[in-house]
Structure 1
Amino acid sequence: MTEYIIDLALLTVLIIGITAINGVLTNGIGEKVFGGKGGSDIYNRDLNVKTGWKQVGGKKKK
């Protein structure tokens, strides 16, 4: 019975690990192929919109 539990645990770890690695690799390939050259274009536009905004929240510096 313990061999069955060990086999089941190993199979579970392998399935979850292979799935996670597959997701990361597919995401990386997709970003390289379909990401284009303007990958940070949205980030730069967001920074341009936020220029001049007041900082809110947090603790005041003394």
Structure 2
Amino acid sequence: MISYFTDFALFAIFVIGLTATMGVLANGIGSGLFGGKTKNAFYEQSSKTQKGWNPVKRK
């Protein structure tokens, strides 16, 4: 019975991990191929927002 739960847990982790990985890859490929002019929209907006900010000084 313990081996059943072990197999179930490993299979669940595999399926969840595979699904997450496929989603990230599909998003990256899709935005790269079909992004057009808006490919870097979030990066550019973040750069505009942070323009003129002082850098964080770490000790």
TM-score range, shorter chain: 0.5 to 0.7
Q: In angstroms, what is the RMSD of aligned CA positions? A: 2.6
Report which structure shows greater RCO (CA 8 Å, sep ≥6). 2
Q: Which has the higher helix share?
A: 2
Unaligned 5+ runs, structure 2: 49-59
Structure 1: where are the runs of 5+ without partners?
48-62
Q: TM-score, normalized by length of structure 1?
A: 0.62
After the TM superposition, which segments of 4 or more aligned residues of structure 1 sit over 3 Å from their partners? 40-44
Larger Rg: 1
Q: How many residues align?
A: 51
TM-score by length of 2: 0.64
- Identity, in percent, stands at 44
